[in-house]
Structure 1
Amino acid sequence: MSSDLQGSAHTPPAAKAADTTRDNPWPLRRLTENIKIYVDRMSTLWVEGQVVEYKPRPGTRMAFFVLRDVDTDTSMTVSAFPGILDQAGAGFEEGARIVTRVKPVFWERRGTLNLRAEEVHLQGIGDLLAHIEQLRRRLSAEGLFASERKKPLPFLPRTVGLICGRNAKAKDDVIVNASTRWPGISFEIREVAVQGDNCVREVTAALMELDGLAHVDVIVVARGGGSVEDLLPFSDEVLVRAAAAVGTPLVSAIGHEGDAPLLDLVADYRASTPTDAARRIVPDLAQELDGLQRSVEAMRVGMHTRLVREAHALDLLVKRPVLQQPSAVLDGHTHALDTHTTALRHAIERVLEREVTALTQARATLTALSPQATLERGYSLLRSPSGKIMRSAADVKKGDLLEGILAEGRLVTQVVGSTRATLPPA
């Protein structure tokens, strides 16, 4: 056998693939070289398909996505410069149908064949997605998606308006889960087309009808997800503007986590699923009762703590000396008042004593200097009938009547004679 192998080693390789044999095979590199030569001779061509895998990676020099035939499971990896995909528009994403001009590329080392895109154009649903993206930007610029426009959902609505498909699972999801959380919650249900040509008209009409019912406090539009095509009506401009115009709080529950129709953006609350919507529109009775019980206990504990604290403060207040003997607060003032009263009395007595002494002295002086005192010492006064005091004998003449004023009593006398006073010798 070893001699056969040695002989085959010197046999020249077959020129064509058809000439290869078990004893004269091609090396694998010869096959990949020939495949590459053949693939490189292929011209660029246009192909169509659906993007099934695409993860944007900003900053990379080359982007990759998987293109699948829409009717079969045939798929190939496509590479492209990021700028080419940017030119395709915002609708280029998983699920988009595209037409692309590609050049087949064969990698010898890995033995793989892929496509390199030179142009990419959205087709079908891709065009619609691009149109929706333009609409989204326009409505966003108008402020329809602004957070200031969002209305708060009621804590416990009287009635829930439910727009859903006919006999749809989404209907049961909302009703069952909401009723489980809050038994007895009532619904106004409008079963409409949630996909297809009639979807926009029927959903819009149901929105306007439920918005006009005074007892409906919240409206839920529910659909259990679906393909990109199925959810297109919920990005229709007419429906979106109608949803923005309703005055009743609106919950959108028409897609799964990866879906983003425009109704989600204009709604007051975007629920990921109908079940999520049910959990959002009504509170959990058991949870609320538990919270209420805990709040009551917390209030009871808080009140007890407050009463204990206030009772302790009151006890300390009652034990204060001023409350034990209220008159004690006046004792100091009473003592001070007594002291000042005594001091004032002594001061007045001293003043009175001083003034009595001065008055006595003044009286004594006045008495000593008074005419009465002179009379009492044995002197008397004579005065004419006119009341003039006689001071000199020259002032009277014989026969004048004079009034004599004595220390005790008065008399009338007549002058029988007078003698002038003689001056003592010098």
Structure 2
Amino acid sequence: MALNTSPEAPLPVGEVSRLIGGWIDRLGAVWVEGQIIQLSPRPGAGMAFLTLRDPSRDVSISVTCFRDVFDRVKDVIGEGARVVVHAKPVWYGRGGTLSLRAADIRPVGIGELLARLEQLKKSLAAEGLFAADRKRPLPFLPQRIGMVTGRASDAERDVLHTAHERWPAVRFERRHTAVQGVRAVPQLIEAIKELDAHPEVDVIIVTRGGGSMEDLLPFSDERLVRAVADCRTPVVSAIGHEADAPLLDLVADLRSRTPTHAAKDTVPDVGEERERVRELRERAYRVINGFLDREAGRLAEVMSRPAMADPHALVADRAEEVESLLGRARRTLGHRLERAEDELTHTRARVVALSPAATLQRGYAVLRREDGTVIRAPEETAEGDKLRARVAEGEFGVTVGPHA
């Protein structure tokens, strides 16, 4: 709508800015594609600021978005990335500037691929497939190593050469598969399952050389990641170079930087182990010798004591003491026996003197009835009673006569 203005009746700047803002507000949201040439996330702020450029026309425009919109793609975009933005034009009247307010930002090309992988990574991590407590330790010396790789690949040669240099007797169970393209994922999964079921395979190495991100996509496939998570056998991932990071690295029990490092991480070095055994033997020798030296010193100290230097001297001293104690015991016992014998002789003489037999020897007699009752007085008898008289030399019967 045209405005009626003139040099005599101009519009104020603020009015013009207001009118422009009102016209722009009537515009709807649009999808815009461009390359990020400046990115200012401003940590802690509620807004993020970026500048999109059209390289073919050398035109740039400022874009703002709320923090939650930026956080959804912050891991997969950066300066130089191509993005598609769903935004609405916004006019800032005070500064007289036009910008786009983004409600959605989507990477394109590699960026879009990275965004999908990042989403899958977060989903699998939430399930716990990458948790550290699921990692299994590798065996010290594998009985047989399973290896999944491309046929006649540099990665295969690196693993075999390094492993046999470190431990010549090491054995491999190899499975050759496609390592890129549409056939790679099914073949990789089948090979891993075969080796996981093999009774002699103690560890599985999945390896290939470096390549573009598209070449390494099979090793970030969700089906392959889940197949490795279900393995009972420890799995080592050695995909590409150290900078490459497929999702297989996160689910594997060990991530090796390169195929050569996979061999080093899986197979011990025979020379290093021999040196370690030698050091342990020397340490054990020193410990045992130290123990024997200490015990020999203690034994020498004990043997130097008088009791051990001449043990018969102690026995001789004790023998004299025993002999002295034995003589004292004999003398004491003899004195006690002599005193007991004298006491016994005196007691016997008194007993003999006081016994009834001695009285009978002096001519006395003991009268008893037939029932054995002793007669102590004449009144206890009657004329004609039959009694027994006991004298020193025997007994005889008597008849009681008349009392005097």
- Indicate the TM-score class for this superposition, using the shorter chain for normalisation: 0.5 to 0.7
The residue number in structure 1 matching 2:14 is none
The residue number in structure 1 matching 2:34 is 48
Which AA in structure 2 matches 1:250? V
- CA deviations on 1:87-112 (whole Å, 9 max, x unpaired) are 43643358964224799xxxxxxxxx
Query: 8 Å contact 1:381–1:390 — kept in the other structure?
Result: no
* 2:211 aligned with 1:230: no
Q: Taking structure 1 as reference, are residues 79 and 411 closer, same or farther at Cα in structure 2, changes over 3 Å only?
A: closer
The residue number in structure 2 matching 1:169 is 154
Give 3-state SS (helix, strand or coil) of 1:228's partner.
Answer: coil
The residue number in structure 1 matching 2:256 is 271
The residue number in structure 2 matching 1:188 is 173
Q: Taking structure 1 as reference, are residues 216 and 70 closer, same or farther at Cα in structure 2, changes over 3 Å only?
A: farther
* 2:272 aligned with 1:287: yes
In structure 2, distance between residues paired with 1:227 and 1:165: 16
Q: Taking structure 1 as reference, are residues 331 and 135 closer, same or farther at Cα in structure 2, changes over 3 Å only?
A: farther
Q: Taking structure 1 as reference, are residues 371 and 212 closer, same or farther at Cα in structure 2, changes over 3 Å only?
A: closer
1:290-301 equivalence runs, <5 A: 290-301=275-286
CA shift at 1:250, angstroms? 0.8
Which AA in structure 1 matches 2:158? D
* 2:185 aligned with 1:200: yes
In structure 2, distance between residues paired with 1:203 and 1:187: 17
Give 3-state SS (helix, strand or coil) of 2:216's partner.
Answer: helix
* 2:224 aligned with 1:239: yes
CA shift at 1:342, angstroms? 4.8
TM-score normalised to the size of structure 2?
Answer: 0.67
The residue number in structure 2 matching 1:112 is none
CA shift at 1:164, angstroms? 2.3
Stretches of structure 1 that go unaligned for 5 or more consecutive residues are 1-42, 104-114, 421-426
**Greater displacement, 295-304 / 268-277:** 295-304
Query: 8 Å contact 2:36–2:50 — kept in the other structure?
Result: no
1:101-120 equivalence runs, <5 A: 118-119=101-102, 120=105
The residue number in structure 1 matching 2:132 is 147
Q: Taking structure 1 as reference, are residues 360 and 86 closer, same or farther at Cα in structure 2, changes over 3 Å only?
A: same
1:2-401 equivalence runs, <5 A: 46-49=32-35, 58-59=43-44, 83=67, 84-88=69-73, 90-92=75-77, 97-100=82-85, 118-119=101-102, 120-324=105-309, 325=311, 328=314, 335=321, 339=325, 342=328, 346=332, 350=336, 355-370=340-355, 373-374=358-359, 381=365
In structure 1, distance between residues paired with 2:354 and 2:60: 153
In structure 2, distance between residues paired with 1:94 and 1:292: 55
Bigger Rg, which one? 1
Query: 8 Å contact 1:234–1:263 — kept in the other structure?
Result: yes
- CA deviations on 1:175-211 (whole Å, 9 max, x unpaired) are 2222222224333333332222222122222222332
Stretches of structure 2 that go unaligned for 5 or more consecutive residues are 1-26, 89-97
In structure 1, distance between residues paired with 2:159 and 2:41: 35
CA shift at 1:75, angstroms? 12
Which AA in structure 2 matches 1:289? R
Q: Taking structure 1 as reference, are residues 93 and 174 closer, same or farther at Cα in structure 2, changes over 3 Å only?
A: farther
**Greater displacement, 292-301 / 263-272:** 292-301
Which AA in structure 2 matches 1:209? E
Give 3-state SS (helix, strand or coil) of 1:46's partner.
Answer: strand
In structure 2, distance between residues paired with 1:77 and 1:287: 62
Query: 8 Å contact 1:162–1:189 — kept in the other structure?
Result: yes
CA shift at 1:278, angstroms? 1.6
Give 3-state SS (helix, strand or coil) of 2:257's partner.
Answer: coil
In structure 2, distance between residues paired with 1:127 and 1:236: 16
Q: Taking structure 1 as reference, are residues 349 and 236 closer, same or farther at Cα in structure 2, changes over 3 Å only?
A: same
Give 3-state SS (helix, strand or coil) of 2:186's partner.
Answer: helix
Q: Cα RMSD (Å) of the superposition? A: 5.1
In structure 2, distance between residues paired with 1:411 and 1:187: 127
Give 3-state SS (helix, strand or coil) of 1:216's partner.
Answer: coil
Query: 8 Å contact 2:195–2:201 — kept in the other structure?
Result: yes
